[in-house]
Amino acid sequence: MRCWRPLSVLLALISSPALAQAGASPLASDADLSSAQSQPWKPCGRTASPLTDLAPGTEDPEQGRLVRGDRVLLFSSDDGVHGLEPWVSTGTGGHGTSLVVDVRPGPEGSEPAGLTPVGDRVFFVADDGVHGRELWVSDGTSRGTRLVKDIWPGEEGSFPRSLAESGGLLYFAAGDSEHGRELWRSDGTPEGTYLIEDLDPGPEGTSPYLMTRGGDGSLYFVSNFQGFFMRLMRTDGKSPAVELFRRSSEGGELEALTAVGNKLYFVSSTVHDDAMAELRVTSGGTPALVGSFHTIDELVAMGGRLYFSANGEDASAGEELWRSDGSRKGTQRVKDVWPGAEGSSPSALAVLGRRLFFSADDGAHGRELWVSDGTASGTLLFEDLVPGAGGSSPEGLTALQGHLFFSADTPGRGREPWGSGGTPGSTAPFDELAPGPDSSEPGGFERSGWDVFFLARDAAHGQRLWALPFRPAHECDADAR
């Protein structure tokens, strides 16, 4: 399965009233965005605009993290002067792109990571050079960016990780000298930031990770117990956490926690020669086994069911698209797209309305864009962008406001950004960012306000941030007048 190459900018999207109120059209207000949600949206043209060039010609090894927000793009990058620090952008409208605050003055940078929106603020982890790596919060302004709490006082730092939102609060793992790395929560204030539970009393800690909000409002996570067991846990943030499932830490993993309605699916896998991956499901009680697979990946929710890419227990059909309703009988392959043992290897699964789009190879058209309504007859080749066996290898499929954004590799153009309205004939490339056969390698598509932001490279600047105007159709028409 192909993956994005490392991105130079770590992104997250947040709502920032202070910045939005000062901006001019086309920066959308809360009322504009609220009233526009039910209206059809479209790209306003095919040309994306480069934003402020940050650290020209450099590559940051940290993979970008994308989170949807409302009007303002908050990201971290290195401008070559301040080191890696938090920045903000209003895209193609408003005030442009600027440094939010120099958390660690000087060229070393505070290296913000784990940006996670909670309400109208974003939490992140940074090192100001005094307190070590600790939890910070920002509303997108300099005055509203601050250290939340010095959990491990001094320069040591508590190194918060696995940040996740649930019920309007932030949950994360952090360490201190007394409890080790355990489960914490925060409302953004020092007094509202505290250890929830010392799951293994003493300084060892259980290092919770994979924080996932379930459909029942509970927080699910995995913890390690004395290096011997991995445990699936559930908590409401008030009562003691409950253990739902455990497995040996030797040669295995608990992974891919995915909420579907009031159910939570997860994978229990091994790394032995005869390794099998077990798909299990829970509604808050003891998890049930729904199927065993040679491989399982790309878990997504659609229409109350789980969809995923997997190679079945007998491996007779290779890796194909599967679905599950939480029962053994209702866990079945959707379609054998590439008949036989080869497998179409579905990847980049993205839900657009009531349909699932994905990249797959049927053995005749190469790797192209496919669509499924969850039935065998409704699983079809959607676009053959490169006719013949070559294939365009679509990647990074992202559904935004009724449209699909992705990258595709076509002859003479290389890998460039594409878009689709989800109907036949609506799929088309955007203007090339790296003209000719060179590739701009776009990735990280996300809407903020009235723009779609993404990362891409060109020969002159390397990797940088781009924005494509994307608005309700009548707003595009108004701009054209």
Alpha-carbon torsion, ordered 123, 128, 132, 135, to 10 deg: -10
CA distances 156 to 80, 130, 315, 446, Å, are: 27, 9, 49, 35
- Compute the half-sphere exposure of residue 67: CA atoms within 13 Å on the CB side of its CA: 24
In terms of Cβ atoms closer than 10 Å to its own Cβ (0-12, 13-18, 19+), residue 470 is buried
Q: What is the structure's pLDDT at 68? A: 53
> Does the pLDDT value for residue 1 go beyond 50?
no
Omega before residue 117 within 30° of 0, cis: no
Rounded average pLDDT over 59-88: 69
What is the per-residue pLDDT across 297-342, written as a single tens digit (0 to 9) for each? Answer: 999 999 999 999 999 988 888 999 999 999 999 999 999 999 988 9
Asked if pLDDT for residue 441 goes beyond 60, the answer is yes
Assess whether pLDDT exceeds 90 at residue 10: no
The tokens describing 109, both together, are 């940078």
- Kindly state the average pLDDT of the residues 16-38: 49
Question: Mean of the pLDDT values across residues 366-386?
Answer: 98
Confidence of residue 3 (pLDDT cuts 50, 70, 90): very low
- Cα dihedral across residues 446, 451, 456, 461: positive or negative: negative
- Average pLDDT for 174-183: 95
Which one is predicted more confidently, 317 or 148? 148
Sorting pLDDT into bands at 50, 70 and 90, what band is 264? Answer: very high
Look at residue 35 and tell me whether its pLDDT is greater than 70: no
Q: What is d(CA 213, CA 219) in angstroms, rounded to the nearest whole number?
A: 5
Mean pLDDT computed over 45-70? 63
The mean pLDDT value for 62-78 works out to: 62
pLDDT at 274 over 70: no
Per-residue pLDDT at 70 exceeds 60: no
φ, ψ at 450 (rounded to 5°): -110, 40
Q: Is the pLDDT of residue 394 over 90?
A: yes
CB of 173 closer than 8 Å to CB of 163: no
| Burial grade of 61 (CB within 10 A; 0-12, 13-18, 19 or more) | exposed
- Higher-confidence residue: 459 or 235? 235
What is the C-alpha radius of gyration for the chain, rounded to an integer number of angstroms?
23
**Mean pLDDT estimate for the chain:** 87
Query: SS3 for 168?
Result: coil
Q: Looking at the predicted structure, is the pLDDT value of residue 221 above 80? A: yes
Instruction: Quickly count: other Cβ atoms within 10 Å of residue 184's Cβ.
Output: 24
Q: How far is CA 346 from CA 67, 144, 165, in A?
A: 24, 43, 29
Rounded to the nearest 5 percent, the helix, strand and coil shares of the chain are: 5, 50, 45
CA distance to 23, 217, 457, per residue, from 12 (Å):
20, 23, 19
The whole-number average pLDDT for the span 132-150 is: 94
286 or 30, which is more confident: 286
φ/ψ of residue 477, rounded to 5: -65, -35
Interval 332-345: pLDDT, tens: 999 999 998 899 99
345-356 tens-digit pLDDT: 999 999 999 999
Taking the C-alpha atoms of residue 379 and residue 384, their distance in angstroms, rounded to an integer, is 14
In this model, does residue 465 exceed pLDDT 90? no
What HEC string does 180-226 produce? EEEEEEECCCCCCCEEEECCCCCCCECCCEEEEECCCCCEEEEEEEC
* Residue from 236, 234, 276 nearest 257 by CA: 234
Neighbours of 381 (CB within 10 A): 14
∠ CA 79-81-84, nearest 5°, is 55
